[in-house]
């Protein structure tokens, strides 16, 4: 049984509001001896329309993540007897001390009168960033429906309501806020991306481009999460430059920033940027784990309809879009921009390359790769972008 410390408006155990989903899943995987089962729930067709949910159903805890930022916005304990909870070091929920209305008042202190929902028979007691739900027997509901009288903490038979659900959030329970990370945090840092200028990091106020060396990248971004050497490039057969030789280029994988950088083995300079959206409907979701890359891609240097038949696509291993239009002239692509919108703005780009791993390894179906000059988009079946590749067009020769 999990023993968790609760901090209203902030955290439940090691799960904290604003926590990236990749970090939460990684923590659950590390604690597989104490957290025995977790289920991921999301919308296949409209991934931005509903929260992403991680359900710890053996422990009765539900984690809700805002889909655009993939940050934890609500924690819900829906099977209260399955966990032991404490506040300020004092246990308020256990087999010896059930979370009755009386005990909640003793532990958390006075607050405003609760709200009764007659349709569901639930009395809700709210504290800043914290709510408790108490089921009320129908025979006593009249005691909680009055708008002028203070509801009793005990029923006429001297028993007291026991909470059935606990919600932890920031702001309002009906409209929870997505907490910002501290100014020093680089999670979800806006990154300005360009085919001609590479990547610019808005918080750090610095950038890297196709002339950057490995030393330049290390000095700006620090040590990568992993270095990966490519054994071969299976998509090069589709290009005029294919000569049957293996590919010895290598990647710097920056998982917590949501992107990879491919370096040329000969020059040791940047050859390609690979930006990940980390949607749960993609086979590589949380595989390494990548965080979502908060890129803002400007289309300078990319003429409309700039399809290239010889474009190289790194589809074998990428190892390793709410729309945003500013003004009438500039179109900016974000992780939430859908492929249909991109095509309408950029024009057609010919037939895609199909990448299908098979149903045994990829239950989400094939993805399609579309190429423009200096750009490749990997598109999922729900019309959202999984990966964006940025490269200099002459690197495919």
Q: Cis peptide leading into 25, omega within 30 of 0?
A: no
**Residue-level pLDDT at 312:** 40
* Rounded Cα–Cα distance for residues 9 and 159 (Å): 30
Beta sheet of 226-229, edge-to-edge order: 226-229, 250-254, 259-263, 270-276, 385-391, 375-379, 367-372, 353-355
Residue 179 has pLDDT above 50, yes or no: yes
94-98 average pLDDT score: 94
* 370 within 8 A of 377, measured Cβ to Cβ: yes
pLDDT tens by residue, 117-170: 999 999 999 999 999 999 999 999 999 887 677 888 899 998 999 999 999 999
Residue 254, pLDDT > 80, answer: yes
pLDDT digits (tens, 9 = 90+) for 191-217: 999 998 899 999 999 999 999 999 999
Question: Whose CA is closest to 257, among 239, 240, 278?
Answer: 278
pLDDT at position 184 over 80: no
| pLDDT digits 0-9 by tens, 337-362 | 999 999 999 887 888 898 776 555 55
Provide the pLDDT for residue 181.
76
User: Does residue 248 have a pLDDT over 80?
Assistant: no
Closest CA to 62 of 92, 83, 90, 31: 83
Measured CA to CA, the distance from residue 72 to residue 56 in angstroms comes to 14
Does residue 191 contact residue 200 with C-beta atoms inside 8 Å? yes
Percent of the chain surpassing pLDDT 70: 84
């Amino acid at each position: 049984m999990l023993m968790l410390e609760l901090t209203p408006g902030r955290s439940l155990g090691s799960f904290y509001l604003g926590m990236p989903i990749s970090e939460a899943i990684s923590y659950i995987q590390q604690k597989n001896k104490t957290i025995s089962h977790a289920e991921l729930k999301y919308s296949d067709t409209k991934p931005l329309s509903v929260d992403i949910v991680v359900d710890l159903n053996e422990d009765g805890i539900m984690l809700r993540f805002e889909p655009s930022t993939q940050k934890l916005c609500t924690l819900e304990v829906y099977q209260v007897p399955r966990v032991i909870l404490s506040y300020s070091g004092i246990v308020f929920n256990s087999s010896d001390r059930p979370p009755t209305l009386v005990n909640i008042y003793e532990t958390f202190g006075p607050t405003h009168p609760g709200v009764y929902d007659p349709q569901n028979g639930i009395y809700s007691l709210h504290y800043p960033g914290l709510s408790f739900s108490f089921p009320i027997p129908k025979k006593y509901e009249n005691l909680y429906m009055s708008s002028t009288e203070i509801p009793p903490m005990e029923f006429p038979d001297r028993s007291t309501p026991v909470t059935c659900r606990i919600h932890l959030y920031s702001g309002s329970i009906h409209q929870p806020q997505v907490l910002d990370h501290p100014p020093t945090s680089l999670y979800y840092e806006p990154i300005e991306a360009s085919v001609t200028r590479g990547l610019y990091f808005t918080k750090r106020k610095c950038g890297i481009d196709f002339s950057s060396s490995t030393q330049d990248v290390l000095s700006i971004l620090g040590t990568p999460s992993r270095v990966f050497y490519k054994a071969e490039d299976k998509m090069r057969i589709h290009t005029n430059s294919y000569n049957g030789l293996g590919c010895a280029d290598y990647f710097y994988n920056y998982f917590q920033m949501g992107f990879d950088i491919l370096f040329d083995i000969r020059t040791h300079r940047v050859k390609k940027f690979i930006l990940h959206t980390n949607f749960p409907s993609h086979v590589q979701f949380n595989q390494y784990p990548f965080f979502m890359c908060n890129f803002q891609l400007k289309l300078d240097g990319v003429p409309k309809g700039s399809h290239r038949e010889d474009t190289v696509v790194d589809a074998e291993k990428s190892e390793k879009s709410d729309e945003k239009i500013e003004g009438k002239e500039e179109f900016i692509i974000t992780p939430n921009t859908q492929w249909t919108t991109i095509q309408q703005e950029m024009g057609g780009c010919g037939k895609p390359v199909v990448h299908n791993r098979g149903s045994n390894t990829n239950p989400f179906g094939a993805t399609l790769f579309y190429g423009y000059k200096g750009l490749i988009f990997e598109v999922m079946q729900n019309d959202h972008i999984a990966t964006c590749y940025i490269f200099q067009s002459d690197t495919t020769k």
